[in-house]
């Protein structure tokens, strides 16, 4: 499969970012699937970067995602405190570099003030409503979080509840969460 295809159906994960009332939360489930088999239920797909100032979550091929996270860390060192610039530079490299173009993963990257979805087709997208999601259960988590964002729940509670809803619907998503907050 070429990386130039749209990333329609990543099987095996859900990553959700929620920004509300000055807090940013990124949550990811722990399920890793091969076909119809669950091979691990406690994978950690959300990581802190840049000395704890940035959170990244990934969907897609694990090895590819780790390669991208390493590249993102290098960009964050090159452009400290400039998350948008680091993400755009990563997306540009990802799109134009012959090796990186083959990588099949997506990232959600966030700091205290911003959330970005970064893809291999050159997208760096900032959500309009303070909520972004990727992965096979991403649309379920996104819809649930959008419905919950205007309630009295804080950012972490919105993320946890939305992820629980996604896990109830998506067979490639479980309730074993990794949650990081800024």
> Has 13 been annotated as catalytic?
yes
Alpha helix stretches (DSSP H) within the chain: 62-78, 83-96, 138-148, 155-169
Does residue 55 sit in helix, strand or coil?
A: strand
* β partners of residue 107: 58, 118
Instruction: Name the DSSP letter for residue 88.
Output: H
- How long a stretch of residues is the chain? 182
Q: Which of 13, 24, 117, 173 is catalytic?
A: 13
CA–CA distance, 59 with 45 (Å, rounded to integer): 8
Asked if residue 56 lies in contact with residue 78, where contact means CB atoms within 8 angstroms, the answer is no
Does residue 1 sit in helix, strand or coil?
A: coil
Task: Point out the residues that are catalytic.
Answer: 13
């Amino acid at each position: 499969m070429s990386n130039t295809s749209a990333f329609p159906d990543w099987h095996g994960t859900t990553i959700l970012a929620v920004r509300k009332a000055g807090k940013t939360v990124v949550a990811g489930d722990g399920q890793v699937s091969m076909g119809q088999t669950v091979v691990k239920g406690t994978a950690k797909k959300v990581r802190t970067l840049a000395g704890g100032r940035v959170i990244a979550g990934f969907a897609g091929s694990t090895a590819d995602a780790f390669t991208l996270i390493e590249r993102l860390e290098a960009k964050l060192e090159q452009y400290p405190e400039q998350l948008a610039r680091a993400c755009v530079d990563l997306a540009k490299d990802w799109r134009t570099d012959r090796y990186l173009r083959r990588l099949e993963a997506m990232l959600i990257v966030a700091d205290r003030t911003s959330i970005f979805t970064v893809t291999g087709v050159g997208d760096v997208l900032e959500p309009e409503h303070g909520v972004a999601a990727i992965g096979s259960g991403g649309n379920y988590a996104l819809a649930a979080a959008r419905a919950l964002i205007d309630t009295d729940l804080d950012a972490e509670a919105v993320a946890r509840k939305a992820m629980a809803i996604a896990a109830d619907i998506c067979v490639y998503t479980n309730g074993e969460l990794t949650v990081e907050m800024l």
